[in-house]
Amino acid sequence: MQTLSGKEVTGEFHEVTNVSYDERGRRKEEVTFAAQNSLRGIQLTAEDMEDIRVFMPLLLSSEDLPQYNLTYAGQQHVDDLDTYVFHIEPKNEEKGRRYFQGRIWVEAQDFQIVKACGKSGPDKVPKKKGERPELHPTFVTYRQEVDGHFWFPAYTRSDDTLRSRAGSVRVRETIKYTGYKRAVP
């Protein structure tokens, strides 16, 4: 993640993490590289890290679907794939809960999500002086086929300006997902 002023990079957050799952399906993370955080004008929160881990790769499970309205938006060719496009938004927003809102592209043959574009939310605009805003950039995630059947995130990109009463900060994010391996029982 980078903060920018014009084309000049003013700060950066760079981390490399290995993600695996234990025999009970619990997520395990091991940070293998972490540079000193030098971001300017923003502070990474737990919600920002949740965006990176959950919303940007869009781990939308069948259990999550009843919480969302999906509206068919047509068909579109993405790379070499025929896809169905759906607009997705939360049915109800519960206080303290976060949601994805945007579009997903579903591959027409295997019915797997191959692309997602949108943002997590809701954004929180401070009502009292001194409170920090909680703003989230719009992002796009592309998936690739792994093992000839499953579609996993390949990369996520975001280049957005977060605007609040305190000012604007341009952020650019690139997340790469690599090294998928089948778990050995």
Contact in structure between 101 and 126 (CB atoms under 8 Å):
no
Question: Containing domain of residue 78, as a range?
Answer: 2-176
Say how far apart CA 73 and CA 181 lie, in whole Å: 34
- Tally of structural domains, the chain: 1
Task: Return the closest-CA partner of residue 178 out of 158, 157, 153, 160.
Answer: 153
Considering the domain boundaries, does residue 133 fall inside one?
Answer: yes
Q: pLDDT band for position 157 (50/70/90)? A: very high
Considering the domain boundaries, does residue 185 fall inside one?
Answer: no
Considering the domain boundaries, does residue 183 fall inside one?
Answer: no
pTM: 0.86
Considering the domain boundaries, does residue 98 fall inside one?
Answer: yes
Q: For 146-166, b where at least 16 C-beta lie within 10 A, e where not — what string?
A: eeeeebebbbbebebebeeee
Considering the domain boundaries, does residue 15 fall inside one?
Answer: yes
Considering the domain boundaries, does residue 181 fall inside one?
Answer: no
Considering the domain boundaries, does residue 184 fall inside one?
Answer: no
Considering the domain boundaries, does residue 136 fall inside one?
Answer: yes
What pLDDT digit, counting tens, does each position of 1-60 carry? Answer: 999 999 999 999 999 999 888 888 788 889 999 999 999 988 888 888 888 887 788 777
SS3 123: coil
What pLDDT digit, counting tens, does each position of 53-104 carry? Answer: 877 887 777 888 899 999 999 999 998 999 999 999 999 888 878 889 999 9
